[in-house]
Chain A
Amino acid sequence: MRGQISLEAILAVGFSIVILLSLFNLTWERFYLARDVGEAGEAKMVGELLAGAINNAYANGEGFSIYLGPDVLNYTRLGDASRITGVGISLPIVIDKTGRTINISKSMQKTGGGNWMAAVPIIPANISRASPTAQYAETTIRNNGGGIIIYAAQENIDVP
Chain B
Amino acid sequence: MILVVFPYALKQNELNKALAAARDGATYGASLRGMGFRGENVKEIPQGVVKIEEIKLVEMSDKLTEEEKTRVGAWYQIRFQVSIPDYMKDKATCSGSSIGMTIRKRSISYINYAFYGDWTPEDELKVYTDRFKFTTACDFV
Interface residues of A (CB under 8 A from B): 8, 11-12, 15, 18-19, 22-23, 25-26, 29-30, 33, 36-37, 40-41, 44, 106, 111-120
Q: In the bound complex, how far is the Cα of B37 from the Cα of A111, in angstroms? A: 15
Cβ-defined contact, A36 with B28, below 8 A: yes
B27, CB-defined interface residue at 8 Å: yes
Q: Are A40 and B32 in contact (CB under 8 A)?
A: yes
Taking a contact as CB atoms under 8 Å apart, the answer to whether A117 and B38 are in contact is yes
Interface SS of A by simple majority: helix
Contacting residues, chain A, for B31 (C-beta < 8 A):
37, 40
B39: contacting residue among A29, A33, A113, CB under 8 A: A113
CB pair B113–A12 under 8 Å, yes or no, is no
- Interchain CB contact under 8 A, A112 and B32: no
Instruction: Give the interface of B toward A (CB within 8 A).
Output: 1-3, 6, 9-10, 13-14, 17, 20-21, 24, 27-28, 31-32, 35-40, 44, 47, 106, 109-110, 113-115, 117-120
- Inter-subunit contact B36/A37 (CB<8 Å): no
The answer to whether A115 touches B27, judged by C-beta atoms less than 8 angstroms apart, is no
A118 and B13: CB pair below 8 A? no
Residue of B nearest to A116 (CB): B37
- If the complex has contacts A36-B28, A114-B40, are A44 and B35 also in contact, measured as CB distance less than 8 A? yes
The listed residue (A8, A18, A119) touching B44 by CB distance below 8 A is A119
The 3 closest A-B pairs by CB, nearest first: A112-B119, A11-B2, A116-B37
Contact of B114 among A12, A19, A29, A115 (CB under 8 A): A29
B24 contacts A44, CB within 8 Å?
no
| B119 with A26: CB separation less than 8 A | no
7 additional contacts (CB under 8 A) given A19-B9, A26-B21: A15-B6, A18-B10, A37-B28, A44-B37, A113-B109, A116-B37, A119-B36
